[in-house]
């Protein structure tokens, strides 16, 4: 497995993996993924033989991104590396791809001396993601209820 920085040329593969991960990942269009990459301070993908296995996009504080979850962290913390999305292709799950990507995120956050911020769906529930975050020593720091959707906020 090779991990490298993402570019606009990767958006089609990113979009396909993201769509495959619904509802665990938030639905976005290819132009929205391009906009996220442009705002990102850290965005990497895992590849094998030039095929994307998964990706992660992280944002610094205070960008123009309009996510309510992201705004929640901005209202409470001055510094963080926000995991907007992490997605792994269905046929590569449970093979260490997500862990490899998160290890890169945590290393980047440590280099910046900031915590990693992320959220996980409570409604609809995503217990696998909650377990995944707990394995990386994330702690729950709050919840945000959107009505039809609710999330748990995590910091590591």
The tens place of each residue's pLDDT in the chain, 156 residues long, gives 999 999 999 999 999 999 988 776 778 999 999 999 999 999 999 999 999 999 999 999 999 999 999 999 999 999 999 999 999 999 999 899 999 999 999 999 999 999 999 999 898 888 988 999 999 999 999 999 988 889 999 999
Question: What's the domain range around 51?
Answer: 2-114
pLDDT of residue 128: 86
CATH number of the domain encompassing residue 107: 3.40.630.30
d(CA 89, CA 98): 10
pLDDT of residue 135: 94
pLDDT of residue 24: 67
Classify residue 128: in a domain, yes or no: no
Residue bearing tokens 């959707």? 149
Total-model pTM: 0.94
Classify residue 139: in a domain, yes or no: no
**Beta pairing class for 51-59 and 42-48:** antiparallel
pLDDT of residue 61: 98
**Beta pairing class for 116-123 and 51-59:** unpaired
Domain total in the chain:
1
Classify residue 17: in a domain, yes or no: yes
Classify residue 86: in a domain, yes or no: yes
């Amino acid at each position: 497995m090779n991990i490298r920085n993402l570019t606009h040329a990767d958006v089609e593969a990113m979009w396909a993996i993201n769509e495959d991960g619904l509802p665990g990942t938030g639905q976005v269009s290819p132009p929205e993924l391009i906009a996220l990459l442009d705002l990102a301070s850290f965005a990497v993908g895992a590849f094998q033989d030039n095929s994307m296995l998964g990706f992660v996009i992280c944002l610094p504080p205070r960008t123009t991104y309009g996510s309510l979850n992201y705004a929640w962290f901005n209202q409470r913390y001055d510094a963080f590396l926000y995991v907007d999305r992490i997605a792994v292709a269905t046929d590569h799950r449970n093979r260490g791809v997500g862990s490899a990507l998160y290890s890169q995120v945590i290393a980047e956050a440590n280099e910046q001396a900031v915590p990693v911020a992320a959220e996980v769906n409570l409604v609809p529930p995503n217990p696998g993601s909650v377990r995944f975050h707990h394995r990386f020593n994330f702690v729950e720091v709050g919840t945000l209820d959107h009505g039809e959707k609710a999330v748990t906020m995590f910091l590591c």
